[in-house]
Structure 1
Amino acid sequence: MGKSLLILLMLATTAWSAEAQVTRNVSYAGTDSRRQKLDIYAPKDAKDLPVVVWLHGGGWRAGNKMLVQKKPQAFVDQGYVFVSINYRFVPNHTMHDLATDVATAIKWVHTNIAQHGGSPETIFVGGHSAGAHLSALVCSDESYLKSQGLSLANVAGCFPVDTATYDAHKLISFLQRNNSSRTELYVTAFGDTDASQKKYSPITYIKEGTKTPPFLLLHVASRPDATLMSNAFAKAVQSAGGEAETFAAKGKDHGSINKELGTSGDQPTKAVFAFLKKHAAKPATE
């Protein structure tokens, strides 16, 4: 009986927690696909609050919008509307499809989030691992948002959490030279040509005169590839006239930096909320 009740609660379209109204399984692309749905967590009686769109990890081939641990409540407690999305997976779909899903979800949020107490003018995008890459890609390559009638100016800030694929071509080249077992994962996602790997690398689109949203790049301090890539991407954004900062999370691994985001006393969480507070005060279209 207890298990059945739990399942019913999870499948409910709208449920309530002590502080948040939760709306589940909203189709953001006008399809019945479960991979193109999102969940919304909003403070009760919310109005015109900043919004966080969150992208789960899973190697571009797995994961689920429900795997958010303590994040929704933590963001709601801080006065944000939190939106967790699903997106389609490789190899049945291309990286272009995945990024298009993200942009389509952002468009849905921009159009509809006021009905859930969020501000369409203050939308942040973040994610972990594969979701970190996708958040950075959509916040760098403006073509995805443009296809939805939006622009990079519609994103108030981007906070990717621990990815080494800001320059996927460089990473894959390194892995191939060293005969790494990880090569297949990245080639499946980014393709086996220089052109496709560069096309889906966020750093490709960081150029002087291109105005991107502010970035906070979180990474595990003891992970060399993520550290190198995060610092290089931040430097590229800064050199192009944009705003980017990095945060090296000590005592974390690739899993715990995500699992513990939103927990009390967590240093990466504090960095995220400081970043959001700083940029929520600025109009997204500034």
Structure 2
Amino acid sequence: MPFFRLLALPALLVLLILIVGANEYAVARPSRRTQDIAYVSATDPGFSTERHRLDVYAPRRKAVAGQPVVVFIHGGNWDSGSKNIYTFIGRRLAKQGVVAVVINYRLSPQVQVPAMAEDCARAVGWTRQHIAEYGGDPQHIFLMGHSAGAGLAALLATDNRYFTWLGLSQNPVRGVILDDPAGLDMYDYLLKKQYASDEQYLTAFGRDPEGWKAVSALYHLTAASPPFLTFVGGKTYPSIASSSEKFRQRLLALGIQPQFTVLPDKKHIPMVLQLYWQHNVIYRQLLPFVGSTSQADRKKSVSKLPPDLRNK
């Protein structure tokens, strides 16, 4: 069977809606959500009223210095998904001292993967320009994604051309958290076409093998690529497991010791659902990876400041 059918079952959608609803009541208080911000100008010829939007989740407790920023890119088979499903991730990150940006981007069949990556790059560009207004540090932007979103995050981190196209002199991504990543090597996957339904991916990826390689992060990795924190489900789809291992081996060949964790018994969709729980293993590794300090550590830092600066 194909390996990316995310959010396809009605029962799962109901579960996600229930989780989102419960989460809004349970963890909204420690965070401030600013939603539906347009990261592309409404005058842009390609502007999508729905898809060129993002939400910012900022901790209510003001930090002494800018806080690390995580831009989350949702999955959904490159043809579905919405930022509105993942409010629980934004809330959980903000509660733990991270400014989270959860984005939408255009989907197939409206556009193909290169345009999706361009949208994500524009969202990161907006974040770099505006996140200080929400308490975030524009010099500490990290990407995070699940499934197809993780593949897009890896592509932006490894192919600097998406940011050169925006006029940026350097890639602003300081690191990437990959949660059961899909699409790290679509070149190999689409050459093999091992499953009967694999033709569907040609809508999003086109029919040119060189195009498949161009949007596969595996082929853009260099020793200068930012660090990766990768989590793979022990019972995920075989193609995700194998491409993630190839990615890890490529990093090792470049002299980079990857942070790579296989979570036993976890299937593909539970790999993202587990992010509802604040003390999940992914958050426990993510926080030191992005340089977030705990609330207790922030209190210690504030206590050392002169009295007139402690509440600023």
Deviation digits for residues 253-273 of structure 1 (CA, Å, limit 9, x no counterpart): 111110111414422332333
CA distance in 1, matches of 2:101, 2:287: 16
CA distance in 2, matches of 1:43, 1:219: 28
In structure 2, relative to structure 1, the CA distance for the partners of 1:148 and 1:45 (3 Å cut) is farther
Structure 2 residue 134 is the aligned partner of structure 1 residue 110? no
| C-alpha displacement of 1:141 | 0.9
Structure 2 counterpart of 1:154, which letter? P
Structure 2 residue 227 is the aligned partner of structure 1 residue 202? no
| C-alpha displacement of 1:74 | 1.6
> Which residue of 1 is the match for residue 14 of structure 2?
none
> Which residue of 2 is the match for residue 160 of structure 1?
178
Q: When the two structures are superposed, what TM-score results if normalisation uses the length of structure 1?
A: 0.84
> Which residue of 2 is the match for residue 33 of structure 1?
49
Structure 2 residue 206 is the aligned partner of structure 1 residue 184? no
CA distance in 2, matches of 1:38, 1:87: 9
Q: Which runs of 5+ in 2 are unaligned?
A: 1-20, 22-26, 43-47, 294-312
Aligned counterpart for 1:119 among listed residues 105, 127, 137: 137
| C-alpha displacement of 1:45 | 4.5
| C-alpha displacement of 1:241 | 4.0
CA distance in 2, matches of 1:99, 1:270: 28
CA distance in 2, matches of 1:18, 1:142: 38
Segments of 4+ moved more than 6 angstroms = none
> Which residue of 2 is the match for residue 257 of structure 1?
271
How is 1:241-280 mapped onto 2 (pairs within 5 angstroms)? Answer: 241-242=255-256, 244-277=258-291
Structure 2 counterpart of 1:30, which letter? S
Contact 2:145 2:181 (C-alpha < 8 Å) held by counterparts: no
Q: Which runs of 5+ in 1 are unaligned?
A: 1-9, 11-15, 280-286
Deviation digits for residues 84-126 of structure 1 (CA, Å, limit 9, x no counterpart): 0000011211211100001000000000000011000100101
Aligned counterpart for 1:212 among listed residues 204, 216, 225: 225
Contact 2:191 2:209 (C-alpha < 8 Å) held by counterparts: no
CA distance in 1, matches of 2:169, 2:178: 19
How is 1:5-44 mapped onto 2 (pairs within 5 angstroms)? Answer: 17-31=28-42, 33-44=49-60
Structure 2 counterpart of 1:157, which letter? G
How is 1:50-129 mapped onto 2 (pairs within 5 angstroms)? Answer: 50-68=68-86, 70-129=88-147
Contact 1:220 1:252 (C-alpha < 8 Å) held by counterparts: yes
In structure 2, relative to structure 1, the CA distance for the partners of 1:17 and 1:74 (3 Å cut) is closer
In structure 2, relative to structure 1, the CA distance for the partners of 1:264 and 1:110 (3 Å cut) is closer
Contact 1:249 1:267 (C-alpha < 8 Å) held by counterparts: no
| C-alpha displacement of 1:158 | 0.4
In structure 2, relative to structure 1, the CA distance for the partners of 1:84 and 1:130 (3 Å cut) is same
Q: What secondary structure sits across from 1:40 in the alignment?
A: strand
Structure 2 counterpart of 1:29, which letter? V
CA distance in 2, matches of 1:154, 1:46: 24
Structure 1 counterpart of 2:53, which letter? K
Q: What secondary structure sits across from 1:273 in the alignment?
A: helix
Contact 2:51 2:106 (C-alpha < 8 Å) held by counterparts: yes
CA distance in 2, matches of 1:63, 1:222: 22
How is 1:227-246 mapped onto 2 (pairs within 5 angstroms)? Answer: 227-242=241-256, 244-246=258-260
Deviation digits for residues 9-28 of structure 1 (CA, Å, limit 9, x no counterpart): x9xxxxx9411111001000
Contact 1:212 1:242 (C-alpha < 8 Å) held by counterparts: no
| C-alpha displacement of 1:243 | 5.2
> Which residue of 1 is the match for residue 307 of structure 2?
none
Contact 1:141 1:202 (C-alpha < 8 Å) held by counterparts: yes
CA distance in 1, matches of 2:203, 2:86: 25
Structure 2 counterpart of 1:200, which letter? V
CA distance in 2, matches of 1:137, 1:49: 24
CA distance in 2, matches of 1:250, 1:144: 35
CA distance in 2, matches of 1:93, 1:17: 34
> Which residue of 2 is the match for residue 5 of structure 1?
none
C-alpha RMSD of the superposition: 2.2
Q: Which has the larger radius of gyration?
A: 2
